[in-house]
Amino acid sequence: MTQPLMPKATAVWLIDNTALTFDQIADFCSLHILEVKGIADGDVDHGIRGADPIAAGQLTRLEIEDCQKDSKTRLKAIQKREDLPDVARRVGKKYTPLSKRQDRPDSIFWLVRNHPELLDSQIGKLVGTTKSTIQSIRDRTHWNSSNLTPVDPVSVGLCSQVDLDKAVQKAFKRIEKRKAEDQDNNINTCITEPDDFKVEQHK
């Protein structure tokens, strides 16, 4: 079974939002059961933000509900979207039909609120908009900000579920990579020679 892109963050979400057992969560996230218990108690990785495996295209809500009914059942990740056949894409700027353009600000609002991990460039590519428009919706300076209602862009046909899942997974990978780099930098910063040792060498 494929491990979630952010196993500990996924475990946090499953602990907070489901009635799954620690064994089921540990098995799906490829973590030790004691580590899962530590996360639940706040002793391990305290403060880590949960990552929704449903939004990331790793699990279905039905799968979670079935496993909640039987503690012996193990979660099964859904088929990778990357394994689906590629669809020919037209090169050039994304065209949005006039009938759907009124849904675009609402869809941007939905993406900003439900997927804060996405970059503005990713949102722009998904729904065919500009960074300035996205920023105005983020900081509530959009001309129609008071009337915006979050709408899933997939439900109104502005993008496909496959494209949305790929964008979310790419964002999670970027975040994991940045966290690993920050951790390495912190370790390297801590490994320095004591000042008294350097002075002793020059004597």
Smallest CA-to-CA distance from 127 within 100, 149, 146, 87 is with 100
Between residues 108 and 182, the one the model is more confident about: 108
Percent of the chain whose pLDDT exceeds 90: 22
Residue 59: predicted pLDDT: 86
pLDDT of 131 strictly over 80: yes
Is the predicted pLDDT of residue 66 greater than 50, yes or no? yes
pLDDT at residue 128 is higher than 60: yes
Instruction: Say which range, 80-89, 120-129, 148-157, 191-200, has the weakest mean pLDDT.
Output: 80-89
Q: Does residue 87 register a pLDDT over 90?
A: no
pTM equals 0.47
Contact yes or no for 144/133 (Cβ under 8 A):
no
- Considering only 95-109, 130-144, 147-161, which range has the smallest mean pLDDT? 95-109
Arithmetic mean of pLDDT, 154-172: 88
Q: Where are the domains of the chain?
A: 1-80, 94-193
Q: Does the structure show a pLDDT above 70 at 171?
A: yes
pLDDT of residue 98: 46
pLDDT surpasses 60 at 195: no
Q: How many CB atoms lie within 10 A of CB 24?
A: 23
Q: Helix 104-114 vs helix 120-127: angle between axes, to the nearest 10 degrees?
A: 140
- The residue that leads in pLDDT, 186 or 68, is 68
**Which of the two residues, 64 and 80, has the higher pLDDT score?**
64
**Which pLDDT score is estimated for 192?**
55
Query: What is the DSSP secondary-structure string of 45-102?
Result: STTPPP--TTTTTS--HHHHHHHHH-TT----PPPPGGGSPPPP--SSSPP--HHHHT
Q: Are the CB atoms for 12 and 39 separated by under 8 Å?
A: yes
pLDDT, position 109: 92
Quick one: what percent of the chain has pLDDT higher than 70? Answer: 76
Question: Are the CB atoms for 37 and 45 separated by under 8 Å?
Answer: no
The model's confidence at residue 119, banded by pLDDT at 50, 70 and 90, is very high
